[in-house]
Amino acid sequence: METEDSADDVFTSSNVQGGNTMNPNGDASNDSRNVPTTSSGTGHRAGFQQEDEEVIAGGSSYLPSHPEPLLPPEAPMVPPIPISISDENYHRGNWGTKLEFLSAMICQLTPFFMFNFAYQCYRSGGLIFVVPFIVMLFVLGLPVILMQISIGQFSSTGFLTMWRFSPVLKGVSASILLFTVGNMVLLNILFTETLSFVYATLSSPQNLPWSSCANVWNTDKCQDTRGISSNSTTRYDVYHNFSHLPTTPAEEYRRYVAEGNSLQIEIIISALVASCLLLQATLMGIKIVGKLSLCCLVASFLLTVVLLVRSATLPGSYVGLQFLFYPVRDYLFKFEVWKNAFFFVAYLLTFNVGTNITLASHNRFHNNCFLDTAILVMVSIFAPLMLAIATFSFFGFFAYHENLEMNEVVTLGPRMFFEALPQIFLKMPVSHLWTQMWFGLLALNLFTSEIGIIIAITSSILDLFGWVHSWRLIVPITLIICVFLFLVTGFGIFFLGIEVFLSSIDEGLQYLPFIVVAILAFSLVWIYGGNQNFQLLRFGRDIEIMVGFFPAFFDVMFTSLWGLIVPLLLAVAILYRIIVSYEFLTMRVWIVFGLSLLVLGVGFILGALHEAYQHIHINTYFTDYFYRASLPHPRWGPALDAHRKYAGYLPSDFTPQPYRLTHGDHHPEAGLQPTQPVEAGSTAKDTADPGATLPASTPLLGLTLCSTETTL
């Protein structure tokens, strides 16, 4: 099996003409790699053998375990499929356009918007919820999004290996993998259930299975309408919990399809189709994922607009819109509303931390991460509002049609989409068409979110072993992931049922992302920044190297946010959630929560001990081993030698070699000691390398969406 240092074996040479090669900027020029040549044609390897001998003489513990591939010194390199010849990084590949990256990031947010935002507005006084939501989005969301994008983009590596800035914490990556897989399984369950409803609407569009109570799965409690008087104050979700009360056909159909101890053929087929679709979408890596995310996002937007217009023109829709747009001002001063807004933003941005970091790692090095963060924050404000308006319009129509109050029809989470809304569509003309459009919208959002998670896990595994991101390795890894999803989904639904399975994952893993993000933010300021002359926002210097600016105001603001406010808020939230929810959590949830804490604790301890052991040959006191383990790893920093030189991780007189994309581990200067930028005590990037210049059209003011490095 290929290792990190032999991963470039898949590169081939072609079109060798006149001894010309391509430099890192893509221009053809004479070969300038200064590679010693021999009569046997193995000069490329001979040069690196000499380097290896120098490293061995220096006593480095970070050595390549296998020889370098034999490549003709004058041959331009052709990257393996699916990496493009126009990509900056021939080892991992880059997004085709900036819009593809933004689309993939937005797709990670939309499922959470759909399932939660409308209900949060309902329980928090209507549109008044938007005020604390926006405040929390800027206080908590903006620094977390910027942190995730920046650390992935700067290090060009996935969430399993991004802890190289402080290797003593690398065991925490096991926890990120755990809740990332949990999130993927949760979305796959919902995607499978959505496909089963899509199949039902397409197989019998004129006679939907939940249109009446005359089916084999219906019970004597089934009623086409609830028959609740308009002055009732019973909420729909509380009402549903009483087994002696009547149920709707949509509820009983979902219970029939998704209940535990039985596995209907619809679910089996849907789970198989879901796995096949996910496999096809991720076989070619981020190139296909980016284009699919962009296309599906546009389709989702168009479907949302159509449903929004239709819902707003229904009779009685004003009832729902009035409930939404006429807020109760007293709610603005209630602790419960601000608490709901905080947890909504926290769940929105912490569960996807591993996925977001890995997706950002495929950006070009000088991509404007500030602009990306601003766009994602704006989308996080306006996208859920569109969905909330459409949802409340449908509920207003249903309340008007059935002579009910709004608090009798609004539901929480998946039940809103699989039970309440299908029943509402039955009251509309051409009901099957609107039902198909609704489930199509839901399927698109779940599908694009899930393929982003799958490709993030795949990329992180490849980065962990240093393998090139070739289709030969992507295909088997994605195949294993999709088979795993099929089996876990099937067995989980069979033994537990969809509702219990979803709640066990969601509630059991809800605390772990908070802990991980708090550790990440804290360590970037107090460990990564504290190790180098106690410069707390050393990571700000890294961002400045990528973008071209990082004002002193940002130093103060982000040092406070990352180093104090974000970790403190998340820590308080964890304690509050555990204390308040202690009596209401089931045994299954406690088991999942306990296992997640076990993975976090064991992973952290083993990772710290393993990294400290790497320095055992140094004769020093015990605690110094862990201090040395907290220093940045030699591979930490930009992937390309040209960027490493510009950032100060290589000497200013070092000649970067094209296509050497292994984070500098074959260069003696980077292998002798933990990576420290030259004169890193100063935040001025030109101090590290006075002769360095930013590439042409780098967005120095942070306002350029498109440049030579990041094109639309």
Instruction: State which H helix or E strand residue 20 sits in.
Output: strand 20-22
Between the two ends of the chain, the Cα-to-Cα distance in Å is: 37
Q: What are the two backbone dihedrals, phi and then psi, of residue 551, each rounded to the nearest 5 degrees?
A: -60, 160
Question: In whole angstroms, what is the distance from residue 383 CA to residue 387 CA?
Answer: 7
The reply, when asked if residue 103 is annotated as ligand binding, is no
3-state secondary structure (DSSP) of residue 661: coil
Question: In whole angstroms, what is the distance from residue 18 CA to residue 20 CA?
Answer: 5
- The two tokens of residue 661 are 């994309």
Judge whether 396 and 118 are in contact, CB under 8 Å: no
DSSP codes joined into one string, 516-575:
HHHHHHHHHHHTTTTTTTT-TTHHHHHHHHHHS---HHHHHHHHHIIIIIHHHHHHHHHH
Residue 436 one-letter amino acid: Q
- The two tokens of residue 188 are 């796959």
DSSP classification of residue 709: S
CA-to-CA dists, residue 541 to 77, 247, 364, 408, 424, angstroms: 32, 60, 18, 54, 54
For the chain, give the number of residues: 712
Instruction: State which H helix or E strand residue 13 sits in.
Output: strand 12-13
Question: In whole angstroms, what is the distance from residue 218 CA to residue 224 CA?
Answer: 11
Maximum Cα–Cα distance across the chain: 94
Q: Which residues of 583-620 are buried (b: 16+ CB within 10 A; e: fewer)?
A: eeeeebbeebbeebeebbeebbeebbeebbeebeeeee
Question: In whole angstroms, what is the distance from residue 682 CA to residue 669 CA?
Answer: 21
Question: In whole angstroms, what is the distance from residue 305 CA to residue 302 CA?
Answer: 5
DSSP codes joined into one string, 21-81:
EE-TTS-EEE--S-----TTS-HHHHHHHHHHHHHHHHT-S---SSPPP---TTPPEEPPT
Judge whether 425 and 438 are in contact, CB under 8 Å: yes
Instruction: State which H helix or E strand residue 198 sits in.
Output: helix 173-203
Judge whether 95 and 35 are in contact, CB under 8 Å: no
Q: What are the two backbone dihedrals, phi and then psi, of residue 199, each rounded to the nearest 5 degrees?
A: -60, -40
Residue 558 one-letter amino acid: F
Judge whether 690 and 704 are in contact, CB under 8 Å: no
Judge whether 514 and 570 are in contact, CB under 8 Å: yes
DSSP codes joined into one string, 484-517:
HHHHHHHHHHHHT-HHHHHHHHHHHSSSHHHHHH
Question: Pairing mode, if any, of strands 12-13 and 77-78?
Answer: antiparallel
For CA atoms 482, 487, 492, 493, the dihedral sign is positive
Question: In whole angstroms, what is the distance from residue 233 CA to residue 700 CA?
Answer: 58
Binding residues: 449
Binding-site entries for Na(+): 449
